[in-house]
Structure 1
Amino acid sequence: MDVAVGIVAQRDNERAQDLAAALVNALEAAGASAVVDEATGAAIAATPVPVDSMDDRDLVVSIGGDGTLLFVAREVSPVPIMGVNLGEVGFLNAVAPENAVDVVTDVVADIARTGRVEGRELARLRATGVDEDWTLAPALNEIVVHGRRRGHGGGATIEIRVDGQSYAESHADGVLVATPTGSTAYNLSEGGPLVHPATDAVIVTQMAAAESMPPLVVEPDTEISLTVTDADTAYAISDGRNRQRLEPPATVTVTPAADPVTLVGPQANFFDGLDKLE
């Protein structure tokens, strides 16, 4: 079969652009078709397309840090994604730059031969308004609900209910609901637990709560509802980027998203990555 590949390079990163050019040349030499994101296409000799139009590709390669891969996942999922790591930690990006051409071309050859893409599925979360009709883009790392701003005078009272049962209610900067993938990100900085990425679970962590409960780990199909009061404005945010303004009192439900992200290629060593955390 003819294999179509999309390549997204970290913006304004010359090293990422050079690697994208090398991948385009190697893929086209191997008989695959390759396109790049528009910003990269302005810097190298390759066909540029909007990232969100790569959703018809067989594989999308993300070159950069975990933030680049999170962006790619929002735009192209459920297309399988491979991450090439130019960052420091790289929990999601397991392919080293020096190995990228060989790894990508080997995977593309497997797809051409078998017609299948083998990978690991990563669960995502979906935030939905109860009082208003809105749904945020699925989150690979976390959903956060917080008040007008972080810090003194900017929080809100947030009640956490788990499958309809009250778990905690306190004035807090916010509440964070994370996947195992996101346990090493914002969740960890707020005192939440590390959860191995192969675990099926959802993590609920209060952020600077006046009357705090321990972080809670629940089954992945659990419905978490967060009711915000005692604030003039609040926000629900998916993976730090997509946000919905709330007018308290307001309730947000967090549930599993229908489509996971499929991560292709070598998998990052979770414990090696922990050594790089500050």
Structure 2
Amino acid sequence: MSDSPVVGVVGADADAVVAAVESAGGRATAGTAKRVVDESEAVVAVGESALFAVARTGTDDPVLPVAAGAGVRSVPREAVAAGVADLVTGDYERASHPLVDVRVADRTRATALFDLMLVSAEPAQISEYAVERGDDRVARFRADGVVVATPAGSSGYASDAGGPVLAPETDAVAVVPVAPFETDIDHWVLPPEGLSVSVERDETAVHLLADDRVVGPVEPHEPVRVTPAGSIAVAVVAAGRSPFPPA
């Protein structure tokens, strides 16, 4: 980056982050993800929604997550000034976090940084799901839903549902049933290439979610295909949290 880099700020508490950027010797611009990515050499994303929006732009610039989850080594809000100072001065390492594309049949597409989920539209309504990789049937089970989490997202909802937390460098996703009908059901760690999930039988409407967005409905037997979709470069600074949640 330049001696006085332009740092974009996306999300809540923009004024405080702008002040931290300028105090560290940078130039700040705040606004929507699309606008600031086009105008900046680095980005501070405050909150998960802001980080997701920045990831969907496809930027190659370093992104400093703030209060955005352990899986991306985000900086706590109380340590923003120190984290931003390291970003502006270039005192950070770059960590690559994979994105995944998801397609429903041939009509719907979305990109996720943390996770995608098939889930019943009504609470406590069990449907039947299948997980396949290429020509192999991995599993078939009854549950409220199923979540596919990247390493960055594996410490979030997938972990809450009983799934494993993946190290950031793991080249795989965690596939975790949500509130399964069986009590001893497996979870799976699988390469994303060739992976698909589907609704085999539904008791109610099933929706696809990608990170913080509802993408749309999924009909029975429609394949929801997962493919790698590049990555986002996260700036890892001294104030960043461990990628593993505390015990």
Same topology, TM > 0.5: yes
Q: Shift of residue 234 of structure 1?
A: 1.5
Counterpart for residue 229 of structure 1:
200
Q: Check the 8 A contact 1:3/1:33 in 2, yes or no.
A: yes
Q: Shift of residue 67 of structure 1?
A: 4.4
Q: Answer 1 or 2: which has greater helix percent.
A: 1
CA 1:177–1:167 in structure 2 vs 1: closer, same or farther (change >3 Å)?
A: same
1:149 paired with 2:122, answer: yes
Counterpart for residue 7 of structure 2:
5
Q: Check the 8 A contact 2:130/2:197 in 1, yes or no.
A: yes
Counterpart for residue 73 of structure 1:
55
Q: For 1:27-176, what aligned pairs fall within 5 Å after superposition?
A: 30=25, 32-37=26-31, 50-56=32-38, 57-63=40-46, 65-75=47-57, 77-85=59-67, 90-92=70-72, 93-94=74-75, 96-107=79-90, 119-130=94-105, 132-136=106-110, 138-151=111-124, 154-176=125-147
Q: Relative contact order (alpha carbons < 8 A, sep ≥ 6): 1 or 2 greater? A: 2
Letter of the structure 1 residue corresponding to residue 226 of structure 2:
V
Counterpart for residue 183 of structure 1:
154
* Matched positions, count: 237
1:208 paired with 2:179, answer: yes
Q: Check the 8 A contact 2:129/2:200 in 1, yes or no.
A: yes
Q: Answer 1 or 2: which has greater strand percent.
A: 2
Counterpart for residue 23 of structure 2:
26
Please list every run of 5 or more consecutive structure 1 residues that lacks an aligned counterpart in the other structure.
11-15, 38-49, 111-116
Q: Report SS of the residue matched to 1:270.
A: coil
Q: Shift of residue 252 of structure 1?
A: 0.6
Q: Check the 8 A contact 1:173/1:209 in 2, yes or no.
A: yes
CA 1:17–1:148 in structure 2 vs 1: closer, same or farther (change >3 Å)?
A: closer
Q: Check the 8 A contact 2:75/2:83 in 1, yes or no.
A: no
Q: Report SS of the residue matched to 2:86.
A: helix
Q: Check the 8 A contact 2:95/2:234 in 1, yes or no.
A: yes
Give the aligned CA root-mean-square deviation in angstroms. 2.6
Q: Take 1:91 and 1:159, find their aligned partners in 2: how far apart are those partners?
A: 27
Q: Shift of residue 214 of structure 1?
A: 0.7
Q: Take 1:124 and 1:76, find their aligned partners in 2: how far apart are those partners?
A: 10
Percent identity of equivalent pairs = 25
Q: Take 1:167 and 1:195, find their aligned partners in 2: how far apart are those partners?
A: 19
Letter of the structure 2 residue corresponding to residue 106 of structure 1:
T
Q: Report SS of the residue matched to 1:183.
A: coil
